[in-house]
């Protein structure tokens, strides 16, 4: 797993997927912060710690990761981080205003326990923001390398957060623009699985520069459109769940 995190760390700054991801997520975090700069924020399963940069402008952001490599890499980047299990988060209940988890839950067997823990550590009125892998038809090398336990649909993602007592405010697809390409690539990967070795870096390696630039432009344009027009399909889901206030 630490090898996969190293590959991820090399790609996060420039890979079109990560650039697109930030175009989807950054405006959402800013909207949820609503002008505040004093929030307490936590990234659950922070990996390399790169995404803590998205949270830091809005208050005190911390992270944790199950792997040694993830927690060490995050601390080396100057961000506070612990080593911990998302199904047993070592923080007090009601401590945070916002908790995030980006592309983690599909790899967690006990995803219901994980989301209950995230709901526990946020305050009443606080928010959980998730990105998760969508649709079993898109399983491929990446799913095998990261040992995905499942992929989600909008209905299964909604059930997941609601069973933790959260109110679903948003469940929307991302990366509709690259869905046809990804569908073709992942289908080929599954068909060729018996005849070739698994390539963990297949979906993480940064494409040839002109291709990467083109795809960056495509997914960035989609992210702008998606702020007003929900996408009908995609390879990921963006999920927002809010913890009800005691008086609501």
pLDDT of residue 248: 53
Mean pLDDT of the chain: 94
Give me 134's structure tokens: 């969508």
Query: Residue 18, Cα to own-chain centre: how many angstroms?
Result: 10
Using a 10 angstrom Cβ sphere, with 0-12 exposed, 13-18 middle and 19 or more buried, the burial of residue 102 is buried
User: 221: closest CA among 3, 20, 16?
Assistant: 20
CA distances (Å), 23 to each of 42, 103, 193, in order? 20, 15, 33
More confident residue, 201 or 206: 206
> What would you report as the CA-atom Rg of the chain, rounded to the nearest whole angstrom?
17
Say how far apart CA 194 and CA 21 lie, in whole Å: 32
pLDDT of residue 13: 92
pLDDT of residue 89: 97
Confidence of residue 247 (pLDDT cuts 50, 70, 90): low
The torsion angle over the Cα atoms of residues 9, 18, 194 and 136, rounded to 10 degrees, is 130
- Percent of residues, the chain, with pLDDT higher than 70: 98
CA distances (Å), 211 to each of 14, 100, 140, 215, 239, in order? 12, 30, 21, 6, 29
Mean pLDDT of the 145-160 span:
96
Residue 32 CB: number of other CB atoms within 10 A?
A: 19
**pLDDT of 154-205, one tens digit each?**
999 999 999 999 999 999 999 999 999 999 999 999 999 888 888 767 788 8
More confident residue, 196 or 58: 58
**pLDDT of 60-70, one tens digit each?**
999 999 988 88
Q: Do you know the residue count of the chain? A: 248
**All domains of the chain in start order, with CATH:** 2-242 (3.40.50.150)
pTM over 0.85: yes
Residue 4 CB: number of other CB atoms within 10 A?
A: 18
Helix (H, G, I), strand (E, B) or coil at 72: helix
Only one residue has tokens 């960035």, namely: 220
């Amino acid at each position: 797993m630490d090898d996969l995190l190293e590959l991820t760390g090399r790609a996060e700054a420039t890979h079109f997927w990560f650039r697109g991801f930030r175009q989807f997520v950054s405006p959402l975090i800013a909207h949820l912060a609503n002008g505040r700069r004093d929030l307490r924020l936590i990234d659950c399963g922070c990996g390399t710690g790169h995404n803590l940069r998205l949270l830091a402008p809005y208050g005190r952001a911390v992270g944790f990761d199950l792997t040694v490599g993830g927690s060490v890499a995050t601390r080396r980047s100057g961000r506070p981080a612990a080593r911990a299990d998302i199904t047993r988060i070592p923080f007090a209940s009601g401590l945070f205003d916002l908790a995030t988890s980006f592309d983690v839950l599909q790899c967690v067997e006990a995803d219901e326990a994980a989301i209950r823990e995230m709901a526990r550590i946020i305050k009443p009125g606080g928010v959980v923001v998730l990105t998760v892998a969508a649709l079993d038809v898109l399983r491929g090398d990446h799913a095998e390398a990261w040992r995905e336990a499942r992929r989600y649909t909008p209905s299964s993602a909604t059930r997941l957060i609601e069973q933790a007592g959260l109110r679903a405010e948003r469940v929307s697809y991302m990366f509709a623009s690259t869905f046809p390409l990804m569908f073709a690539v992942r289908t080929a990967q599954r068909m060729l699985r018996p005849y070739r070795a698994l390539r963990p870096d297949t979906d993480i390696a940064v494409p040839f520069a002109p291709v990467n630039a083109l795809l960056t432009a495509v997914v960035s344009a989609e992210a702008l459109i998606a702020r007003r027009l929900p996408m009908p399909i995609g390879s990921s889901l963006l999920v927002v769940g809010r913890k009800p206030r005691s008086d609501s």
